[in-house]
Amino acid sequence: MIRKSIFVLLLLALSVSATFAQDSVSLIYLVDESQNSQDMATALAEAYMAQHPNVTITVESRPGGTEGDNIVKTRLATGDMTDIFFYNSGSLLQALNPTQTLVDLSDQAFIANVQESFLPTVSQGDGIYGVPTGTGMGGGILYNKRVYEDLGLSVPMTWDDFAANNAAIAEAGIAPVLATFGDTWTAQLFVLADYYNVEQADPGFAERYTANEAKYASTPAALAGFTYLQQGFEDGWWQQDFATTRFEPGLALLANGEVAHYPMLTFALSTIAANFPDQANDIGFFAQPGASADANGATIWMPAGTYIPQTTTGAKLEAALGFLGFIASVEGVDAINAQVAPNGPYLIKESSLPDSVLPAVKDLAAYIDSGNSYPALEFLSPIKGPNLEQLCVAVATGQMTAEEAAANYDLDVERQAQQLGLPGW
């Protein structure tokens, strides 16, 4: 009897062990290497695993910029993509051909938790392919408020005002504008963050641009962003070693007041808060100014998304869908807020920003609340040429004129539009 009882217990133990092994699922979550993205992904994964002990989520990093885009495209094309991945919404997502590569989420109940304004940025045809992960962002100018206070400067409402501030800052022995061209993607902001001003000066540009009826080189308002890069180089706005300085070391220069301005997305604020908590409240945000003070406003980026490739199947797919449902919930937002300072508004219904948000986030919210904001071009058009960052670096380092870069970008865009099969190209 004793031997039989032991045998039964062993069978039960083996059965429980087998069931546990069968129910256990491991997922790999591919995320760009920025501190903000890594912290956010880790916070979400740890919170979800705490609720679901049978699921293990490992966060894997990849480079940002063009190199990271190519990795994502290659891994999808070869069937080697991780179980879930974090990537841009908008035009860059369209280039992944999501109807052929990603799992359609349109029949998932958690999609009802997502703000409707986000859905077009992760849709193709009748499908919805991602959930917003993190906050929306402002594209514009991060600035050191202590430098402004010490020099008696005011937030500029026009580009001429901005240039005048830069002259005063340079005279005080401080580099006016941070350039981190060691990470080439950061060179794009003077062009991309200017879209609010493009739309004000040339309403409907995005629609004509998509239809091959408007070009950067022949539209003065669109060309302006390239001319700003040329002006920055010619007027000596950048700090020393601007060609090799990288993103995170550059943030130290801004936080410490060694540079005054940084053309950047507000997602950088959480990295500043994490690495320089004592200086985070010294950083403010203002919209990239244009020609008119009466038409001053901020260009807004929708959040990136989390996606599931079609190569994820079976139990992994079920677990991945559960994780995306968590991301698209107030609980998911709370998990991020507990670890990462928010950079803007969330696109999850019934979620809210904590009272302790950074001053720069409040600066951005003021533009949104007053109606003086507009989406970036990449959320209004599926076209974004892959070589923009290299062209921006070429202008900002004196290797190419603004006009040459704009003309080259129009060719870059043409090739991409043809690859997407857009009509009129």
Long-range contacts, stretch 211-215, CB < 8 angstroms, 24+ apart: 211/423, 211/424, 212/414, 212/417, 212/422, 212/424, 212/425, 213/424, 215/406, 215/410
Residue numbers of the chain with a pLDDT score lower than 70: 1-22
237-272, pLDDT tens digit by residue?
Answer: 999 999 999 999 999 999 999 999 999 999 899 899
What SS3 state is found at 298?
strand
Could you give the domains of the chain?
24-135+303-339 (3.40.190.10), 137-301+359-420 (3.40.190.10)
* Residue 152: per-residue pLDDT: 98
- Is residue 41 exposed (0-12), middle (13-18) or buried (19+ Cβ within 10 Å)? buried
Q: What are phi and psi of 191, to 5 degrees?
A: -85, -50
With 0-12 / 13-18 / 19 or more C-beta atoms within 10 angstroms meaning exposed / middle / buried, residue 136 is buried
DSSP 8-state class, residue 16 = H
